[in-house]
Amino acid sequence: GQSLEQPSEVTAVEGAIVQINCTYQTSGFYGLSWYQQHDGGAPTFLSYNALDGLEETGRFSSFLSRSDSYGYLLLQELQMKDSASYFCARLTRDYKLSFGAGTTVTVRA
């Protein structure tokens, strides 16, 4: 079953900020990754947090709080090309990834 929970859909306008939350099971937890997938395409790696705090990569940032079993992906200055599905993925100590069901982000003009 799912060991991560994230919202199924988010809609926002161009230029806005979107935060996608992810809660996870702690058993065997090593770190939290984020992947982007455009319709019909392959998932691509966005960001990774092993320690508490914020990781910034351009317009995208990812945050982790291990004590709260919680993380989020922050998308800033939204662009139409950011319309996609975003997956949080739990990396376990045996280096396997378990994916959430994904959040579909729709950017409106």
- DSSP states of the chain as a string? --SEE--SEEEEETT--EEEEEEE--TTEEEEEEEEE-TTS--EEEEEESSSEEEEETTEEEEEETTTTEEEEEE-S--GGG-EEEEEEEEETTS-EEE---EEEEEE-
Please pick, from the candidates 22, 33, 64, 84, the single residue that binds other proteins as defined by CB under 8 A.
Answer: 33
- Least separation in angstroms between residue 64's CB and other proteins is 12
Q: Does 71 bind other proteins (CB under 8 A)?
A: no
- Least separation in angstroms between residue 109's CB and other proteins is 27
Contact residues for other proteins, defined by CB under 8 A: 2, 31, 33, 41-45, 48, 50, 87, 89, 91, 95-102
